[in-house]
């Protein structure tokens, strides 16, 4: 039930923004990303923490490969401003 509802919402979306924070991205968000990418949606990610970098890891290439753009800024306020500027300059 939850999966079908969530998958339907992903299909209705024009664009996906995925939170990439954490040691690894959330499993459910990864499924949503795969669904969105498979439907031809523009997929963007954002990362504000350094946990994976501190462990010497970067994003899984299967996740990064789905992304149109990944915003990485460890200052949350600067990240929001960067995304805001991107959205104002982009034809979404």
Per domain, the residue ranges of the chain are 2-89
Condensed to tens digits (0 to 9), the pLDDT of residues 33-84 reads: 999 999 999 999 998 877 655 555 577 889 989 999 999 887 878 888 998 9
Question: How far apart are alpha carbons 37 and 89 in whole angstroms?
Answer: 22
Structure confidence at residue 79 (pLDDT): 86
Closest CA relative to residue 59, chosen from 74, 51, 34? 51
Structure confidence at residue 55 (pLDDT): 52
Contact 92, 15 (CB under 8 A): yes
CATH (residue range 2-89): 3.40.50.450
For the chain, list the strands marked E by DSSP.
15-19, 42-47, 69-72
> pTM for this structure?
0.80
Structure confidence at residue 75 (pLDDT): 80
Residue with tokens 């949606």, as numbered in its chain: 41
């Amino acid at each position: 039930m939850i999966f079908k509802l969530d998958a339907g919402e992903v299909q209705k979306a024009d664009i996906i923004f995925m939170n990439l924070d954490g040691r690894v991205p959330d499993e459910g968000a990864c499924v949503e990303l795969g669904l969105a990418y498979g439907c031809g949606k523009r997929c963007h990610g954002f990362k504000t923490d350094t946990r994976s970098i501190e462990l010497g890891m970067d994003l899984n290439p299967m996740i990064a490969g789905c992304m149109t753009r990944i915003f990485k800024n460890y200052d949350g306020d600067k990240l929001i401003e960067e995304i805001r500027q991107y959205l104002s300059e982009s034809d979404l």
